[in-house]
Amino acid sequence: MIQAKKTRKTTLQTRKNSYRESLEKASVADYTWVIPLAQKIRENADVLARFISHVLAGVAASPFASDKSSFSRFDWLRGMTKLLFPQVASPLDKMEDALRQLQEGLGDLSSDFLKDTEMTGDLLVPLIETVCHTLETNPQFIVVFHDPQILGQVLGPLGERASGLIHMIPALSNHAAEKFPNLKETLFHALFNLEKQDRQLIYTLAEDVLGEVYRARVFPHLTKTLSQDPRGRVLAPILLGAIQAIPGESCINALLSIACTPHRELSHGRVIAIAIQEMGGLYIKIAQVISELCPPSLARELRTTQDDAGGIFPSIEKSWGYVLQTLGEPEFIEWKPILRLPSKPIRHFASASVGALYQIELTDEGKQKWDVESVLIKFQRPKLPALFAKQCDHILKLMDDARSTLQDDISLGGEQRLELLGLVTTLRRAVVNYYQQSKEELDFRIEEVNASKVRAALGDNTRVRVPRYFYTTQKCRTYGVCGRYKSYKNCTNKVLGS
């Protein structure tokens, strides 16, 4: 026990020294970009407090994935108490042992007052305003906000209070992702609990924050990374232009996705990939092509956009609502008695640029009828044709701009200019091809026809099999999971083009 305490003390001291060095570096760095953001957040402290109060209410209902670590539960609730009632922080410190014995009671009490969103919102406003005032005066302090344990050492009582909230955010706290695995959906649920005018203010604030963070921190890193290769002259402006085109209404989605990315996994490359992933469509396609030409660190992150894009919508609940709405249409009436639809929203099974795939268990009647345990249903994102056309025009414009810049760059030699112009031509052709291909992918009936052709061509070849299509429309398809596997993820019987 004594050795463990010594180890923790040594570890904390090492981290303090590290942050002291970070502050010394920050003191000479330009963090003035933080000041206008802190001011905007302070001016919107009331609406931000209302949003956070709904988040706390959602977390309080089920703070952790499990209650195996009762101390962690107590520690978080104690932090929330300090956050909302700073005047009782000292008595809590003195009565810690007694409170641990009553932690379940405290947990119930905490859940009660955290669910009172009006009260917690009012209590949060002064803290947000004070933190913002501090950052307006000392913007360098932003560097210590990604470690709750250091805040108290740097900012005193204010830092101790803020640490209770910081402990919740995976991108800022090393252990938050383990404690709050469903935080992202909780954040989206809280957002839609706000009044429409409040949501609009949050959207605008998110656009300001994300835009400034990308401009001041992410873009310079991206440019520096790509400048190591001559091809960066082409890739950098295309990626920068694509990211800058992220719609305002998507900024909150990207910001919450970044906040919910575990601290250990957060990198500049991941932040770039999240923005492209949120835009979806052709941006994901071109990111996959560009990833083959980028340095390994950035390429690895860009490739993640093809592994699992966002759902039909950024929110799991909203996406699931769309699934239920679609299945409720008259053309799917025959499926109602044979689909076992969960009572709570479920996350998509897989997704790409065109749609999202859901695995749905069948009822006994469905299993008997189709002789499979479950089906996979692919739902197309709405209004894709117009979105693809708009994205294609924008990406082609970025490439035309890159071509003009290369032609005017007198620092390039003739051979190098020709090579880079050839790269632009290749990328341009890829975009046009993807656009044409994506238009065809919008009609799922074509995929069914192609699958039938592949099945016929394979003949008696059993090494590759194509799942059976049970019902297909232009915008929704359903096919069975191979009986040999319970999970499609483990099944090698992929549909061509899936």
Counted residue by residue, the chain has a size of 498
Instruction: Assess whether 225 and 137 both reside in one domain.
Output: no
- Other Cβ atoms within 10 Å of 359 Cβ, number: 17
| Domain match, 139 and 161 both | yes
Query: With contact defined as beta carbons under 8 Å apart, do 189 and 58 qualify?
Result: yes
In angstroms, the CA 471 to CA 332 distance is: 9
- Residues 6+ away with beta carbon under 8 Å from 214: 243, 244, 271, 275
Instruction: Say which residue, 297 or 52, is predicted with more confidence.
Output: 52
What is the spatial distance between Cα 496 and Cα 466, in angstroms, rounded to a whole number? 8
The burial class, CB within 10 Å (0-12 / 13-18 / 19+), for 30 is exposed
Residue 71 shares a structural domain with residue 122:
yes
Which of 164, 193, 222 lies at the terminal end of a domain, its last residue? 193
Q: Are residues 128 and 235 in the same domain?
A: no
Domain boundary, last residue among 275, 307, 339: 307
Q: Looking at the structure, tell me whether residues 45 and 185 fall in a common domain.
A: yes
Shared domain for 241 and 106, answered yes or no, is no
Residue at 414 is within a domain: no
Number of domains the chain contains: 3
Q: What share of the chain is helix, strand, coil (3-state, %, to 5)?
A: 70, 5, 25
- pLDDT on residue 54: 92
Whether residue 404 lies inside any domain: the answer is no
In this predicted model, what pLDDT tens digit does every residue of 91-111 receive, in sequence order? Answer: 445 444 444 444 444 445 556
Mean pLDDT is lowest, of 15-19, 406-410, 419-423, 484-488, for 484-488
pLDDT at 419 over 70: yes
pLDDT at 218: 87
Residue range 266-318, pLDDT digits in tens: 888 888 888 887 777 788 878 888 888 887 778 877 876 655 566 777 667 78
pLDDT of residue 19: 61
Q: d(Cα 208, Cα 221) in Å, to the nearest integer?
A: 19
Question: Is 495 contained in some domain?
Answer: no
Pair 218, 268 in one domain: yes
CA 130 – CA 125 distance, rounded (Å): 9
- pLDDT score, position 71: 46
| Residue 228 belongs to a domain | yes
239 versus 20: the higher-pLDDT residue is: 239
E-strand stretches of 153-202: none
- pLDDT range class, residue 495, cuts 50, 70, 90: very low
CA–CA distance, 461 with 356 (Å, rounded to integer)? 29
Considering the domain architecture, whether residues 280 and 167 belong to the same structural domain is answered as no
User: 303 with 328, same domain?
Assistant: no
Cβ neighbours around 459 below 10 Å, total: 7
Mean per-residue pLDDT over the chain, rounded: 77
Non-local (6+) Cβ contacts of 362 within 8 A are 338, 339, 340, 370, 372, 373, 374, 375
Rg, Å, the chain Cα set: 26
Q: Which of 158, 193, 228 is the last residue of a domain?
A: 193
Nearest-angstrom CA–CA distance, 221 and 226: 9
Tokens of 66: 């499990």
pLDDT of residue 326: 87
Contacts 24+ apart (CB under 8 A), 452-458: 454/496
Q: Is the pLDDT of residue 138 over 70?
A: yes
Whether residue 75 has pLDDT greater than 70: no
- 153 and 234 together in one domain: no
Does residue 147 sit in the same domain as residue 259? no
Dihedral angle, C-alpha 52, 55, 56, 62, nearest 10 °: -170
Q: Quick check: is 326 in a domain?
A: yes
- Classify residue 144: in a domain, yes or no: yes
What pLDDT digit, counting tens, does each position of 208-218 carry?
999 899 888 88
Same-domain check for residues 298 and 322: no
Q: What pLDDT was estimated at residue 488?
A: 33
pLDDT value of position 70 = 47
Residues 411, 436 contacting (CB under 8 angstroms) = no
Question: Cα separation of 62 and 177, whole Å?
Answer: 14
The position carrying tokens 């894009």 is 309
Mean pLDDT of 30-54: 93
Range of the domain at 451: 316-380+443-490
Say if 202 falls within a structural domain.
no
pLDDT of residue 62 exceeding 80: no
For the cut 90, the answer to whether the pLDDT of residue 49 exceeds it is: yes
Whether residue 66 lies inside any domain: the answer is yes
Reported pTM: 0.72
How many whole angstroms separate alpha carbon 162 and alpha carbon 154?
Answer: 12
State residue 33's pLDDT score. 92
Coil/strand/helix, residue 393? helix
